[in-house]
Structure 1
Amino acid sequence: MTFNSITFAFIFLPASLLLYYIVPRRIKSFVLVLLSLLFYAWGDIRYLLLLLFSMAFNYLAALEIHGWRNRGFEEKAKAGVISAVAVNLALLGFYKYMGFLLGIVGIRYQAPPLPIGISFYTFTVLSYVLDVYFGKASCERNIISYMLYVSFFPKIIQGPIVEYHKIKDQLAEREISVPGLCSGMRLFLVGMFKKVLIADNLGAAFASLQGVGKMASATAWLGMIFYSLQLYFDFSGYSDMAIGLGRMFGFRLEKNFDYPYMADSVSDFWRRWHISLGAWFRDYVYIPLGGNRCSQARQIMNLSVVWLLTGIWHGASWNFIVWGIYHGLWVIGDKVFFSKFMNRVPRLFRIIGTTLIAFFGWIFFFTPTLGAAFGWMGQMFGSARLGFWNATTSYYLGSNAILLILAFLCCGPNVSRVVNAYSYEKSKVHAGISVACYLLLFILCISNMIANSYSSFLYVRF
């Protein structure tokens, strides 16, 4: 069950909201934990025990680490946090990377199915343990609050990765209000619009184009654009839906995307794309390694480690490792070399250049091997010897022109500014128009979900 399913929209979500709002405040968190575990089990009940083990292990580990630190046993606390991190990474590594690692040495291994959300909830529990160790927050003795932090269903499958110290207070006390509910519903619908009406249709166009075989250069470029836009609207749509759901239940989760295709440098792009993952690596890897408060050589090493790990986090293949190195080189170049003269370049050209760098990187995401990735790039520059443009290019561009225009318009903030300018808060007339527009948007999304086959979110496999 995912957010873009009829079951979720018409059964799970309404029933969850109704139950949550009618139960007494003192048991709301308990109810949310039960609902979250049900949501997770609905997706794949086989790995519910693994999730529960992860929660129990890290809850006990944090208690031990907190106790040792309070009693002045720093060496024991350090050993405890290293052990906890090792166990968590071992679990993640077994399910996500064992097949890849054994394949490198020529051993065939049929890896078990990847547990849903394991990349995300592993980083969630690591945030909890590390926050306790570094003193950013005290350990959570209320097991219900702790379980809610880890398992809260809007974020467990695909994020955002919420750091424990940033949400600790909300676990104990949060504002539950009608304005919050309405705000959450609006953001949820915006996310559904991104996923169902833009991402899924771009995905259908891209899937069809992939079956073409050899392509003219422009067709290969068009395929890269289809996927790059699909990935953005798919993942940012999920994030908007998750954050909107959080608001419905009284949580204020931070935004995960900030118009990344409007970034004017690679560093700026990564401050806007998957913000919660970037913040996690910054707070728990980059800064502990020394961050930028060190020599330039050491900073380059720190950035290299972060980007290698970022690539590995995304998946068990050489494609993701190369993708991490690719972006790491651009970020290092941006911070060490390019920043000295890039401000002299008009911002429009910086945005176009940054977007092209990001788009090229996504080729490693949608191709299964490095050979396929470089083969696709080769076709973009004419290796198929079919010329720059042909009838296939015209067909895919013509049949998706309106979709592409809509997608590019929604990559920037202007559409949101127009919507906010006519917000329901302005007057009763605006309120009526807003309600009608959001209702129409919901009907269009549901109609599209019914008419088309189910489409999962792309980042589930990362």
Structure 2
Amino acid sequence: MVFSSETFLFLFLPLFLAVYYLTPARARSLTILAGSYVFYGWWRVDFLGLLVLTTFWTYGFGLAIERARSELARNWVTAIGLIGNLSVLGVFKYLNFFIDSLAALAGTDAAGLGVHWRLILPIGVSFYVFQSISYLIDVRRGDVKATTSFFDFAAFIALFPQLVAGPILRFKDLADQFQDRQHSPQLFADGLARFTIGLAKKVLIADALAPLADLAFATPDPSAPLAWAGALAYMLQLYFDFSGYSDMAIGLGMMMGFRFMENFDAPYISRSITEFWRRWHISLSVWLRDYLYVPLGGNRKGPARTYVNLVLVMLLGGLWHGANWTFVLWGAWHGGWLAAERATGLARQGGLAAHLRTLLIVLLGWIMFRAASVGQAMDVYAGLFGLNGLQLAPEIAVHISHESLILILVAGAIALAEPRLRDWARLHYFPTSTESLGATLDIGPQHRPHLTGATSLVPSLFVTAVAVLCVMRLAEQSFSPFLYFQF
């Protein structure tokens, strides 16, 4: 089930919220669990079993870690629990990749090795396995107590707003919220507004940019105009698609009383790759830092080891995104730049040149990320540098509308101006009674604007208008899943 579908918007979500708010507070975790299983099982019921099995496994090992009587026993129990979770990823996400790579080395294909089957990648497996891993490690470190409430833990793992594409949540951040969280009409309205903005990012911008990006990557030997237009279109499509999903997930959480961590902070205003990874997919960056980079030694063992750690972590981060050499190379590209910036001091430079350099590095990386193969990526790179010609072929030009080119400019402007737009909206139109407004803008209550009935009506009308546009767009377009569902 997809957030941007009529089934979710007009059937599942209204029914779930009605049941949720009619359920007594003490039983709402069970309601969340049941609703999340329906949401996930809508795709394939059989893979729901893998989610349930992972939940039982992690819950049981969390209790076992806490009850172990010695350090050695806790280490062994933790290791076994982690191996079990990593095995899920190893089998379902990387076994096909391993077989294909082995076959390529042997000069044949999988069938040539006698393998006549392919494993289907369960949607969201990378996200719920990472959440399970972080839970076991946090229990082992003593950062959180192993919960004795199975339904709270199962609801956390299966929490449908973020189940299939994040943000990657940690139980230690939500444990108290499962025990006691606040609900209010204002929080629900803010969540609905956040959800609607995310829906607009997906439906009105990302989906509209998709045809141009698809055309560029599907065209053999694209010329320079097509390669540049397609690469820019994908760069913006991915951002608005993924950040839109995160906005929708955070908004849904707010409707249920939860506060999730932010996952994006205007990444395309970054002036270094180091800054980019503080702003892009924040929950993954934090996860990789806390559970890989720091345990590997971080920057505590000298410069050379720091550079190795940065590259290794990004290689693993690339492989996490998908079982393909394109993702490995994308991770190596970013890891190499992170190490180079730390070694040369580029991360501390500012100004327009640093901003443009960062955008170009990110753009070049996204081409490898998007390509189905390394060869396809090389075709697009050749196009960027004019090696495939400088003229747009007439048979290709007819498929490119003026509207799509204008949308690239509009979407780019929105991505660059997002911090100012966000702060202006919060300052002038969003409710001032919430603590988040003052914390975000760093202003005291005495300086926060007072909303009159007239001004408070503005965001409601705006959100309503955006929602109507999204529904109209959904009614005329075909099914369009979120890009991060494949990871």
TM-score scaled by structure 2?
0.90
2:82 alignment partner in structure 1 = 85
SS at match of 1:105: helix
CA shift, 1:390, in A, is 6.5
Which amino acid counterpart does residue 423 of structure 1 have in structure 2?
Y
CA shift, 1:389, in A, is 5.9
How far apart, in 1, do the equivalents of 2:65 and 2:426 lie?
47
Identity %: 36
CA shift, 1:338, in A, is 3.2
Q: Does 1:405 align with 2:392?
A: no
Q: Does 1:271 align with 2:292?
A: no
Which amino acid counterpart does residue 15 of structure 2 have in structure 1?
A
How far apart, in 2, do the equivalents of 1:332 and 1:169 lie?
38
How many residues get paired?
455
Q: 1:80-99, CA deviations, whole angstroms, 9 ceiling, x for partnerless residues?
A: 11111111111111111111
How far apart, in 1, do the equivalents of 2:180 and 2:424 lie?
34
CA shift, 1:42, in A, is 1.0
2:422 alignment partner in structure 1 = 416
1:387 alignment partner in structure 2 = 390
Does the CA-based 8 Å contact 2:222-2:380 persist in structure 1?
Answer: no
Gaps of at least 5 residues in structure 1 are: none
2:99 alignment partner in structure 1 = 102
Q: Which one of the candidate residues 218, 232, 238 is aligned to 2:245?
A: 238
Cα 1:67–1:371 change in 2 (3 A) is: same
Does the CA-based 8 Å contact 1:95-1:111 persist in structure 2?
Answer: no
Does the CA-based 8 Å contact 2:222-2:379 persist in structure 1?
Answer: no
Gaps of at least 5 residues in structure 2 are: 104-108, 432-450
How far apart, in 2, do the equivalents of 1:38 and 1:55 lie?
16
How far apart, in 2, do the equivalents of 1:285 and 1:11 lie?
41
2:293 alignment partner in structure 1 = 286
SS at match of 1:19: helix
CA shift, 1:361, in A, is 0.4
Q: Does 1:460 align with 2:460?
A: no
Does the CA-based 8 Å contact 2:242-2:483 persist in structure 1?
Answer: yes
Cα 1:394–1:337 change in 2 (3 A) is: farther
SS at match of 1:175: coil
Does the CA-based 8 Å contact 1:163-1:280 persist in structure 2?
Answer: no
How far apart, in 2, do the equivalents of 1:418 and 1:202 lie?
26
How far apart, in 1, do the equivalents of 2:355 and 2:202 lie?
24
2:379 alignment partner in structure 1 = 375
The 5 A counterparts of 1:53-64 are 53-64=53-64
SS at match of 2:400: helix
Q: Which one of the candidate residues 143, 150, 169 is aligned to 1:143?
A: 150
Q: Which one of the candidate residues 470, 479, 483 is aligned to 1:445?
A: 470
Does the CA-based 8 Å contact 1:187-1:241 persist in structure 2?
Answer: yes
Does the CA-based 8 Å contact 1:98-1:111 persist in structure 2?
Answer: no
Q: 1:346-367, CA deviations, whole angstroms, 9 ceiling, x for partnerless residues?
A: 5222111111111110111221
Does the CA-based 8 Å contact 2:220-2:379 persist in structure 1?
Answer: no
Cα 1:333–1:274 change in 2 (3 A) is: same
1:8 alignment partner in structure 2 = 8
Cα 1:81–1:221 change in 2 (3 A) is: same
How far apart, in 2, do the equivalents of 1:339 and 1:220 lie?
28
Does the CA-based 8 Å contact 1:170-1:251 persist in structure 2?
Answer: yes
How far apart, in 2, do the equivalents of 1:115 and 1:395 lie?
34
Cα 1:413–1:388 change in 2 (3 A) is: farther
CA shift, 1:209, in A, is 4.0
The 5 A counterparts of 1:10-159 are 10-68=10-68, 71=69, 73-106=70-103, 108=110, 109=115, 110-159=117-166
SS at match of 1:289: coil
CA shift, 1:30, in A, is 1.3
How far apart, in 1, do the equivalents of 2:58 and 2:424 lie?
46
Does the CA-based 8 Å contact 1:198-1:407 persist in structure 2?
Answer: yes
CA shift, 1:295, in A, is 1.0
Higher mean C-alpha displacement, 263-272 vs 111-120: 111-120
How far apart, in 2, do the equivalents of 1:265 and 1:250 lie?
36
How far apart, in 1, do the equivalents of 2:410 and 2:160 lie?
30
SS at match of 2:229: helix
Does the CA-based 8 Å contact 1:382-1:388 persist in structure 2?
Answer: no
Does the CA-based 8 Å contact 2:40-2:48 persist in structure 1?
Answer: yes
CA shift, 1:208, in A, is 3.5
How far apart, in 2, do the equivalents of 1:197 and 1:260 lie?
20
